Amino acid sequence: MKKYLVVPFALIIIFLGVKVLLTSNNIWQMMFASIGMLLFLFGVFREYSKIKTK
């Protein structure tokens, strides 16, 4: 992923995940939204730290 695309994608994922967490009554949707947000943010952090060290 390009460095300049990280911020918009992170904002979109966080917005959609928080929207699902606040509006959903289904526990499975809430669980998958929180897991997806955590995995995405962990991946972005990992990739960004690789870019920063090079």
What is the domain partition of the chain in residue ranges?
Answer: 3-53
Torsion angle defined by CA atoms of residues 21, 22, 23 and 29, in that order, rounded to the nearest 10 degrees: 10
Degrees, nearest 5: CA angle 42-28-39: 5
pTM: 0.68
Nearest to 5 by CA among 51, 36, 39, 53: 51
Per-residue model confidence (pLDDT) at position 4: 74
**pLDDT confidence tier of residue 53, bands split at 50, 70 and 90:** low
**pLDDT confidence tier of residue 52, bands split at 50, 70 and 90:** low
Residue type for position 40: F
Q: What is the pLDDT of residues 6-44, one digit of tens each?
A: 788 888 888 888 888 889 888 998 899 889 889 988 988
